[in-house]
Structure 1
Amino acid sequence: MEEQNQPLSSRISTVVPATPRDEENDTCHLSCTDMMMKLHYIKAIYFFTSEAAQGFLSAHELKKPMFPLLDLYTKISGRIRRSESGRPFIKCNDAGVRIVESHFDMTLKEWLRQNGFGVEGVVHDHVLGPDLGFSPLVFVKFTWFKCGGLCVGLSWSHILGDAFSAFNFIIMWSKALSGHVPPKSLHVPNSIKPSPSSNYTIYMKKVTVIEEQWLATSDTKVVTQSFYVTSKQLEHLVKATSNENNKVSCFEVLSALLWKYIANIRQGSETKVVTICTHGNGRRENEFPSNNSLVLSIVEANVEVEKSDIQDLVRLIGEKKIVGNYHLMEKLEEENGWKEDFVVYGANLTFVDLEQANIYGVKLNGQKPIVANCAFHGVGDKGVVLVLPTSQEDNEDESKRRMITVSLPEKELDQLKDKLEEEWGITSYMQLFDDDQKHN
């Protein structure tokens, strides 16, 4: 199977901004929130049929709109530097974004049947370092299949901005590809960090990194798998956990379900506290990449989570979140700097709300991907759960579907997979695809 996953050919090139900057170049200051995310990476994939990819037989046409686009996204073409104090910043030196081209001797359906909808193989596996001055912050990978299908894979350093920022960059690229003129400038979003209600600082875990790379070492193998929740399954879950006076979101329901199951698998007190990651409202596609809209909270259960009703856990997530005190984080930075390395996602069990993300806003020849997905790389061994939409169509049935992308230690993920299928009939995308093939 590994031999079949090897590309027939692979090539790496660089795209730089169309307009050279002056000799002085600009620098981009990294905020406290940016620094918290420096060991994390966002991986997004978009699978297109041969009809959608028609006419894009090489990377040449796909790369062309990226040159002027990078005039807007100045910092993603830059490279990490360190000040005299050792604090990182981004030098906007037009070093560029890496482009990877690969071709596989299998059809898109064969790939999906064999690999599911994971990011491995169709997103470049990049991390920053060991030589930060030469490490690209972004890789875009174009993977062609022998049927003419195409996958666009994005590897985005989280220090640049959150998942919404990453998705918006690829959306802007696809619009430029179709002939839309990019805006003259990008809106710089304001920080919307809420006033904290306690002295709780953001939950992070101190880690060591692999040599000089910005990636945490780990003795535990963390793997990722996506699960598909149908409209009927989701409707049943929501009805079982809400009433007219207590409207709940799909994110809250699915997070509560997985919180309970993972607590049952672990059989310990470590899952009594979880991290909830949400994003500010009003995000626009033409915003400059930023982490300023991230809101990190904790939820603490005073009961045995594995024995609790899902409805009670939903209520905790919806009503008992304690927002992190960003002012305390900034004070901590002033006192100690960033001389140590930390992870946020997976420092304890983390749930990330991406329900409102326009991950299906990318189009080729006017067509959306048949499926899009996202995963986080560099997460801690306590695990991360992403809740994503399955499409953005104006269809009531479609709006009630969700994808859950879960990163957990391998043994725990296998047990979770069994629990979801046995008790709710929730399967992985790979299983769903295999079942579809049997009926066709």
Structure 2
Amino acid sequence: MENLVYNKRISTVVPARMTPEEKSSHELTSMDLAMKLHYIRGVYFFESKAVEGLVILDLKKAFFQLLNVYFAASGRVRRSEHGGGRPMIKCNDSGVRIVEAQCSKNLEEWMGIMKDDHSINDHLTYKHVLGPDLGFSPLVFVQFTWFQCGGMSVGLSWSHILGDIFTASAFINMWAQILGGHPPRHPAENPSSETDKLPCFTTKSCSLKTVGPVGDYWVAPNNCKMRTHSFHITEQQLHHLLTKICRLSPSEKIRPFECISAIIWKSLAKIRKELMQEFVTICTHNSHDIGNESPRNRQVVSTVEFDAHFDADVLHVANFIAKKQVDEREKIAELIDKEDGNLDCIVYGANLTFVNLEGTKMYEMELKGVKTVYANYTIDGVGDNGVVLVLPEMKDGDKGLRVTMIMSENEVAELKNELKYEWSIN
């Protein structure tokens, strides 16, 4: 394939003012550290009218103010000098990296290619990881890629230890607001806020998988090549799926996330020709933290156990997902703390993992009053069992969903066919 993205230039932006001494250390929670081998990649597309007249200096200036608020994003990982060397973030204003790039395609051509090969978007986010020199590794990269038509993409590469996708989305949304002339507001934070408590019955964590050791090079190993596939489900398609699943029990009410998760879980079990995987992991946003955008990993991580054969009714599977979740957060914290924060592990893909991102405010991002025409997130560092992200999508006024899967390359083609012929999803 031709050189799609070229003329990359990298620079650094730092906070407009020095971070005060009392805020110079950002302690990482156990959930933050459980996510240290995962990386969030987000991409937003804007038509030429949204970026007309903007130059790279304009785009950078907004980060000066943004990093006054998200000063931890401008820091670097250090290890505590006390105890077992627990990782933390030194807020030393080292900055985030800005990448400028040019694309050989126009936006319409790019989105046409993307329909068949979503991995093309890998060119639009900088593939950074932390280490092996942790103390010098930036936590965030933002890539601005200009298309031939004058349109632009904004690619966010975000270290998961800083926070979940809700946090990453809030970060880049605030950058756009500052660029639009709105003063930054400090994200609401209530560290003592109550959390949604699901039942916790397990004696050991079923959602973590230990790997490594990886030392100071925070990269998760894989036994197979992973591939990304992404598709849109319209409001009409979603209504049809819900009606089809509940046709024998019309009084049953299941949500879109459980519907999609059950269909994919059942389809994968059929492909793998095995019993339904004993455990799956479910990641959802903590309802008590809605509006809390300060840098933290606040998602609820739970597991669902299901040992029925793969011909189980999809409605039955969806109800299990909705009602049989077991909260893993306390057990995760216990395991991480037992190793002084140095446990090398993965969450996404340790089991087949479903992530509910329906509440993400991706389509609220706008430049010069013009909203993004496409937005999506993926995750790097996913284990062999794969991850499925369920995100909102606005397309020609249709409030549907975007489903993004990171799976074993060998399974993606079979899963696409199964979803197409059994469920009319493509």
TM over 0.5: yes
2:63 pairs, out of 66, 70, 74, with: 66
Q: Which residue of structure 1 lines up, in the alignment, with residue 3 of structure 2?
A: 4
Structure 1 pair 159/67, CA: closer, same or farther in 2 (3 Å)? same
2:210 pairs, out of 170, 188, 206, with: 206
Does the aligned pair in 2 maintain the 1:72–1:186 contact within 8 Å?
no
Q: Which residue of structure 2 lines up, in the alignment, with residue 120 of structure 1?
A: 122
Structure 1 pair 209/48, CA: closer, same or farther in 2 (3 Å)? farther
Matched, 1:290 2:292: no
RMSD: 2.0
Q: Which residue of structure 1 lines up, in the alignment, with residue 239 of structure 2?
A: 235
1:300 pairs, out of 300, 305, 328, with: 305
**Following the alignment from structure 2 to structure 1, what is the Cα–Cα distance between the partners of residues 239 and 294?**
36
Q: Which string of whole-angstrom CA distances, capped at 9 and with x for unpartnered residues, describes residues 165-219 of structure 1?
A: 0000111111111111112564345362526431353511111266742111122
Give 1:125-204 correspondences, 5 Å limit.
125-183=127-185, 186-189=188-191, 190=193, 192=195, 194=197, 196-200=199-203, 201=205, 203-204=207-208
Per-residue deviation, 1:286: 6.4
Per-residue deviation, 1:239: 1.1
Q: Which amino acid aligns with 2:373?
A: I
Matched, 1:39 2:31: no
Per-residue deviation, 1:51: 1.4
Structure 1 pair 341/154, CA: closer, same or farther in 2 (3 Å)? same
Does the aligned pair in 1 maintain the 2:393–2:402 contact within 8 Å?
yes
Q: Which residue of structure 2 lines up, in the alignment, with residue 436 of structure 1?
A: none
- Could you state the TM-score of these two structures normalised by the residue count of structure 2? 0.92
Structure 1 pair 184/278, CA: closer, same or farther in 2 (3 Å)? closer
Q: Which amino acid aligns with 1:126?
A: H
Q: Which amino acid aligns with 2:319?
A: R
Matched, 1:346 2:337: no
Give 1:225-264 correspondences, 5 Å limit.
225-242=229-246, 245-264=251-270
**Following the alignment from structure 1 to structure 2, what is the Cα–Cα distance between the partners of residues 213 and 382?**
22
Structure 1 pair 6/180, CA: closer, same or farther in 2 (3 Å)? closer
Give 1:69-80 correspondences, 5 Å limit.
69-80=66-77
1:337 pairs, out of 328, 335, 340, with: 340
**Following the alignment from structure 2 to structure 1, what is the Cα–Cα distance between the partners of residues 87 and 194?**
20
Q: Which residue of structure 2 lines up, in the alignment, with residue 311 of structure 1?
A: 315
Per-residue deviation, 1:22: 4.4
Does the aligned pair in 2 maintain the 1:345–1:379 contact within 8 Å?
yes
Tell me the secondary structure at the aligned position of residue 123 of structure 2.
Answer: coil
**Following the alignment from structure 1 to structure 2, what is the Cα–Cα distance between the partners of residues 87 and 270?**
37
Q: Which amino acid aligns with 1:81?
A: R
Per-residue deviation, 1:348: 0.6
Q: Which amino acid aligns with 1:170?
A: I
Tell me the secondary structure at the aligned position of residue 364 of structure 2.
Answer: coil
Q: Which amino acid aligns with 1:418?
A: N
Does the aligned pair in 2 maintain the 1:168–1:285 contact within 8 Å?
no
Tell me the secondary structure at the aligned position of residue 261 of structure 1.
Answer: helix
Q: Which residue of structure 1 lines up, in the alignment, with residue 416 of structure 2?
A: 417
Q: Which residue of structure 1 lines up, in the alignment, with residue 78 of structure 2?
A: 81
**Following the alignment from structure 2 to structure 1, what is the Cα–Cα distance between the partners of residues 261 and 187?**
37
**Following the alignment from structure 2 to structure 1, what is the Cα–Cα distance between the partners of residues 319 and 403?**
20
Structure 1 pair 252/286, CA: closer, same or farther in 2 (3 Å)? closer
Q: Which residue of structure 1 lines up, in the alignment, with residue 220 of structure 2?
A: 216
Per-residue deviation, 1:334: 4.0
Does the aligned pair in 1 maintain the 2:189–2:294 contact within 8 Å?
yes
Per-residue deviation, 1:336: 3.0
**Following the alignment from structure 1 to structure 2, what is the Cα–Cα distance between the partners of residues 4 and 426?**
32
Q: Which amino acid aligns with 1:302?
A: D
Structure 1 pair 260/111, CA: closer, same or farther in 2 (3 Å)? same
Does the aligned pair in 2 maintain the 1:202–1:329 contact within 8 Å?
no
Q: Which amino acid aligns with 1:74?
A: F
Structure 1 pair 335/188, CA: closer, same or farther in 2 (3 Å)? same
Q: Which amino acid aligns with 1:159?
A: I
Does the aligned pair in 1 maintain the 2:303–2:326 contact within 8 Å?
yes
Per-residue deviation, 1:302: 2.9
Tell me the secondary structure at the aligned position of residue 31 of structure 2.
Answer: helix
Q: Which amino acid aligns with 2:79?
A: R
Q: Which amino acid aligns with 1:266?
A: R
- Could you state the TM-score of these two structures normalised by the residue count of structure 1? 0.90
Structure 1 pair 413/173, CA: closer, same or farther in 2 (3 Å)? same
Unaligned ranges ≥5, structure 2: none
Structure 1 pair 185/370, CA: closer, same or farther in 2 (3 Å)? closer
**Following the alignment from structure 1 to structure 2, what is the Cα–Cα distance between the partners of residues 187 and 25?**
15
Q: Which string of whole-angstrom CA distances, capped at 9 and with x for unpartnered residues, describes residues 22-60 of structure 1?
A: 46761111111111111011111101111122122x321
Structure 1 pair 186/16, CA: closer, same or farther in 2 (3 Å)? farther
Q: Which amino acid aligns with 2:229?
A: Q
**Following the alignment from structure 1 to structure 2, what is the Cα–Cα distance between the partners of residues 302 and 110?**
45
Does the aligned pair in 1 maintain the 2:78–2:90 contact within 8 Å?
yes
Q: Which residue of structure 2 lines up, in the alignment, with residue 434 of structure 1?
A: none
**Following the alignment from structure 1 to structure 2, what is the Cα–Cα distance between the partners of residues 176 and 286?**
19
Does the aligned pair in 1 maintain the 2:196–2:287 contact within 8 Å?
no
Does the aligned pair in 1 maintain the 2:276–2:306 contact within 8 Å?
no
Structure 1 pair 21/318, CA: closer, same or farther in 2 (3 Å)? closer
Matched, 1:405 2:410: no
Q: Which residue of structure 2 lines up, in the alignment, with residue 97 of structure 1?
A: 96
Q: Which string of whole-angstrom CA distances, capped at 9 and with x for unpartnered residues, describes residues 65-117 of structure 1?
A: 11011111111111000013221000000011111010012211122222345
**Following the alignment from structure 1 to structure 2, what is the Cα–Cα distance between the partners of residues 327 and 211?**
25
Q: Which amino acid aligns with 1:295?
A: V
Q: Which string of whole-angstrom CA distances, capped at 9 and with x for unpartnered residues, describes residues 105-159 of structure 1?
A: 2211122222345431001101001100010111111000110010001011111
Structure 1 pair 209/55, CA: closer, same or farther in 2 (3 Å)? farther
Q: Which amino acid aligns with 1:335?
A: K
**Identical counterparts, % of pairs:** 43
